Amino acid sequence: MTDKHDLGAKAQVTFERMFDARTESVSAADREEAEAFWNWLGEFERPADSAAEPDRRILRWPQPYVFGLAAAAIAACLMLAFTWDWLPLHANRSAQAPVVFASGNAQQRVIDMPDGSVVTLAADSRVDIRYTKAHRRVRLVRGEALFKVAHNKQRPFIVSAAGGSVTAVGTAFDVRLDHPSKAQVTVVEGVVKVAVASRNSESDSNLSRLARKGQQVDFGLDKTARDTQAAFITARQNANIDLTTAWTRGMLYFNGEPLSQVIDTVNRYTDQKVVLADPAKANMPIYGLITQGDTSALKNLVAQPNIIRTDTATQTGQRRQTAESGSGPQQQDGDTAP
Average pLDDT taken over every residue of the chain: 76
Query: What is the reported pLDDT for 322?
Result: 40
**What is the CATH number for 278?**
3.55.50
Q: Kindly state whether residue 332 falls inside one of the protein's structural domains.
A: no
Residues 109 and 222 in one domain: yes
User: Tens digit of pLDDT for each residue in 110-129?
Assistant: 999 999 999 999 999 999 99
Residues 103 and 226 in one domain: yes
Residues 167 and 255 in one domain: no
User: Into how many domains does the chain fold?
Assistant: 3
Residues 206 and 306 in one domain: no
Query: What is the reported pLDDT for 89?
Result: 55
Query: What is the reported pLDDT for 25?
Result: 54
Residues 74 and 175 in one domain: no
Query: What is the reported pLDDT for 195?
Result: 97
Q: Kindly state whether residue 1 falls inside one of the protein's structural domains.
A: no
Query: Is residue 213 classed exposed, middle or buried when 0-12, 13-18 and 19+ CB atoms within 10 A define those classes?
Result: middle
Residue 97: pLDDT band with limits 50, 70, 90: confident
- Check whether 146 has a pLDDT greater than 60: yes
Q: How far apart are CA 336 and CA 110, in angstroms?
A: 8
**What is the CATH number for 204?**
2.60.120.1440
Residues 115 and 74 in one domain: no
Q: Kindly state whether residue 326 falls inside one of the protein's structural domains.
A: no
Residues 193 and 249 in one domain: no
Domain extent, residue 14, equals 8-41+58-87
Beta bridge partners of 252: 290
Residues 136 and 170 in one domain: yes
Q: Kindly state whether residue 51 falls inside one of the protein's structural domains.
A: no
CA 145 to chain centre: 7
Helix axes 28-42, 63-90, angle to 10 degrees: 100
Residues 286 and 167 in one domain: no
With CA atoms as reference, report the closest residue to 7 among 64, 66, 99, 82.
82
Q: Kindly state whether residue 333 falls inside one of the protein's structural domains.
A: no
CA 5 to chain centre: 20
Q: How far apart are CA 53 and CA 49, in angstroms?
A: 9
Residues 125 and 230 in one domain: yes
Q: Kindly state whether residue 50 falls inside one of the protein's structural domains.
A: no
User: Tens digit of pLDDT for each residue in 268-277?
Assistant: 999 889 999 9
Query: Is residue 42 classed exposed, middle or buried when 0-12, 13-18 and 19+ CB atoms within 10 A define those classes?
Result: exposed
Q: Kindly state whether residue 19 falls inside one of the protein's structural domains.
A: yes
The H-or-E segment that residue 197 falls in is strand 191-197
Query: What is the reported pLDDT for 10?
Result: 57
User: Tens digit of pLDDT for each residue in 328-338?
Assistant: 333 444 565 44
Q: How far apart are CA 197 and CA 208, in angstroms?
A: 9
Residues 230 and 273 in one domain: no
The H-or-E segment that residue 69 falls in is helix 63-90
Q: Kindly state whether residue 49 falls inside one of the protein's structural domains.
A: no
Residues 144 and 212 in one domain: yes
